[in-house]
């Protein structure tokens, strides 16, 4: 059994979507980020960096943190969502790292400066929204030639990028004019496992996802 320590964030959803796609049995432990539960000693013993997600695979006696590392581990454990041929494997890994080093950090900073910073700094907001948009255009250009990021196979690279890109409105960046990226986002959103995965853990707020997105769009910078 896999124990998943997570919260309702893009990084957390990357792992729950993968677990649902792979049909691996798991139990969920919600981490209360608002209460700084991720900084408590018991959780720091699991992830010294004090971030979600993290997993404990009791069967293998392994503890793993960092969402990218977890995705690779789960795909290799299940023998799915990661091509075994070198070209497919490294195509998957490069687009996974594209998300880990680019999409996630840039969108995260756009969120911080446009929504949470006590002082609105136009230069910072524009810089991170612009870079997020640039990365989206890279994805769009690639998807113009490929069904999935690694080619013809749906992989953990798609899951990782989708869990962030689907929240583009929260970062204040539109993708409606990016035809291929928008179609890819919709394609994954229609997968039952993706739908189940983004519902883990259940949100504490009472708003529906549509209401949440509508409110977010009203706040676009």
Instruction: Provide the pLDDT for residue 203.
Output: 74
pLDDT beneath 70, residues of the chain: 204-221
Instruction: Provide the pLDDT for residue 208.
Output: 46
Burial annotation 35-45 (CB, 10 A radius, 16+ → b, else e): eebbeeeebee
Instruction: Provide the pLDDT for residue 77.
Output: 98
Instruction: Provide the pLDDT for residue 207.
Output: 46
**Which domains can be identified in the chain, with CATH numbers?**
2-78 (3.40.30.10), 86-216 (1.20.1050.10)
**106: nearest Cα among 71, 75, 140, 135:** 135
The structure's pTM equals 0.91
């Amino acid at each position: 059994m896999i124990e998943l320590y997570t919260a309702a964030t893009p990084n957390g959803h990357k792992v729950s979507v993968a677990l649902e796609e792979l049909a691996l049995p798991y139990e969920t432990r919600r981490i209360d980020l608002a209460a700084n539960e991720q900084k408590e000693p018991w959780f720091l013993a699991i992830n010294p960096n004090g971030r979600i997600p993290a997993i404990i695979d009791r069967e293998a006696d392994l503890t793993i943190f960092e969402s990218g590392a977890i995705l690779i581990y789960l795909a290799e454990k299940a023998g799915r969502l990661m091509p075994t041929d070198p070209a497919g494997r490294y195509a998957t890994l490069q687009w996974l790292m594209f998300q880990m080093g680019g999409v996630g950090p840039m969108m995260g900073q756009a969120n911080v400066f446009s929504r949470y910073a006590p002082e609105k700094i136009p230069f910072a907001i524009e810089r991170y929204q612009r870079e997020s948009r640039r990365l989206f255009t890279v994805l769009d250009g690639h998807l113009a030639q490929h069904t999935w990021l690694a080619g013809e196979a749906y992989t953990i690279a798609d899951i990782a990028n989708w869990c962030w890109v689907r929240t583009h409105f929260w970062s204040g960046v539109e993708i409606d004019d990016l035809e291929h990226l928008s179609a890819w986002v919709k394609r994954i959103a229609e997968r039952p496992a993706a739908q189940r995965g983004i519902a883990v853990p259940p949100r504490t707020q009472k708003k529906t996802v549509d209401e949440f997105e509508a409110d977010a769009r009203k706040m676009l910078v």
